[in-house]
Each structure stands twice: as structure tokens, then as C-alpha cells.
Structure 1
Amino acid sequence: MRIMMLLLAALSLSGCGLVALPFRVTGDVLSVVPVVGKPLGAPIHAVGDVID
């Protein structure tokens, strides 16, 4: 069961999704910062959208 779950996770993160993941995570983390989070996080998160 564990191997099957790892295989499904690997397949879902293959390709462009794996490349876009760091941009999405960084954009989400920055958007939590008060005052400057939204303006700085939105463009970084948008890069992840463009990659997909």
C-alpha cells in the first residue's frame, strides 16, 4: 500500500507540476507576511501558474 501511494504521488508531481511547486509554495509563504505579503507573493505564485 505504501509503495502504491508513493507511486501515485510521483505520478501526480511529474512534469510541469514538479517545476512549478517551489514557486507556488514560496508565493503562498510570502502571502502570509503582513503588509507586504500579498504584493510580493502574487507575482511569484503567478509564475507557477504560467509554468503549468
Structure 2
Amino acid sequence: MRTVLLLCLVLGMSGCGLVALPFRVTGDVISVVPVVGKPIGAPIHAVGDAID
């Protein structure tokens, strides 16, 4: 069952989505930091959008 779920995840994220994922996750994690998180996280998240 675990293998089937992993296979579905990999097939759904093939191509650009797989490359953009680290940028999106990093941008979301940084945006949680109070005061400076939003201004710093937005450009990082925008890189993920540009890759897609």
C-alpha cells in the first residue's frame, strides 16, 4: 500500500512540480516567522511559481 501511494505521489509531481516543491516549502516555512517572515518568504515562494 505504501508503495502504491508513493508511486502516485511521484507520478503526480513529475517534471516542474518536483523542482518547485523545495522553494514552495521553504517559502511557506519562512513566512511563519513573525515580522520578517512574509517579506522574506514571498520571493522564495515566487521562485516556485516561476518554475511552474
Q: How many equivalent residue pairs?
A: 52
Structure 1 residues not aligned, in runs of 5+: none
Q: Which amino acid aligns with 1:39?
A: P
The two structures have a TM-score, normalised by structure 2, of 0.91
Matches within 5 A, 1:1-52: 1-52=1-52
- RMSD of the TM alignment (CA)? 0.9
Structure 1 outlier segments of 4+, above 6 Å = none
Distance in 2, Cα, partners of 1:9 & 1:39: 31
Paired with 1:34 and 1:3, the residues of 2 have a C-alpha distance of 38
Q: Distance in 1 between matches of 2:24 and 2:32?
A: 13
> Percent of pairs identical after alignment?
79
In structure 2, the gaps of 5 or more residues are none
Q: Give the TM-score normalised by the residue count of structure 1.
A: 0.91
